Amino acid sequence: MTKGLWRAGAPLVLASKSEARRTLLAAAQLPFEACDAGLDERALEAPLRAKGMDAAGTAGFLAREKALAVAARMQGRLVLAADQTLAVDGRVLCKPSSREAAVAQLGLLSGRTHELHSAICLVRSGEVLLEAVPMARLSVRPLSAAFIAAYLDLVGDAVLSSVGAYRIEALGIHLFEKVEGDQSTILGLPLLPLLGYLRAEGMILE
């Protein structure tokens, strides 16, 4: 891509340590460097929950905070951050903090359809250039307690990095009976609005 479609000079800075997000950027052949924002997301979420902020607003806020934090350390660089939240029956879920929390989330999702909100934020030198929070709808089949326990044993601590305690790109596909939405949105880094912005700004070839 550096000699193909990319026209923006220095690579993107991805403010994330997510393997899924790195894989998506690499597959789209967007040059990038990864730099974890290092923020305490749980602490940032707490006041949002107290205010009753919805899932889309929460995801957007967290993505913006991560992008701004990394951009402050890397002046002049184009910084991309993302975040995901989940809404089911009026409740907002974020990443589970423990196996017990993962069991509770999977139990809540069992037999229900939920909305997955995936936010991106693009920042340069403290200026927010792009924000988007597309949504996907996913239907979880009824899950037995035995399945949930076996699933968590197999996946291990990896579920703690995924909202809803699933990794749909891996073993988590066994949880679902219907999925509606763009794959990159479901995996946590909506590429279509990002690519649309980059093309419009001449950062990738039209």
Q: Which tens digits make up the pLDDT trace of 5-60?
A: 999 999 999 999 888 999 999 999 999 999 999 888 878 888 888 888 899 999 99
pLDDT score for 41: 80
The answer, yes or no, to whether residue 155 has pLDDT greater than 90, is yes
83 labelled catalytic: yes
Position 1 pLDDT exceeds 70: no
Q: Which residue has the tokens 């997000």?
A: 21
Give 12-200's CATH code, choosing from 2.30.110.10, 3.90.950.10, 3.10.20.30, 3.40.30.10: 3.90.950.10
Ordered by start, the domain boundaries in the chain are 12-200
Burial 157-185 (b: 16+ CB within 10 A, else e): ebbeebbbbbbbbeebeebeeeeebeebb
CB atoms within 10 A of CB 34: 16
Instruction: Name the one residue in this structure whose structure tokens are 């929390």.
Output: 101
Catalytic residue among 83, 89, 157, 182: 83
* 109, 88 Cβ separation under 8 angstroms: yes
Q: How confident is the model at residue 2 (pLDDT cuts 50, 70, 90)?
A: very low
Q: In this model, does residue 3 exceed pLDDT 80? A: no
Residue in the structure block whose two tokens are 């997301």: 41
- Taking Cα atoms as reference points, which of 190, 138, 133 lies closest to residue 164? 138
Burial of residue 51, with CB atoms counted within 10 A of its CB: 0-12 exposed, 13-18 middle, 19 or more buried: exposed
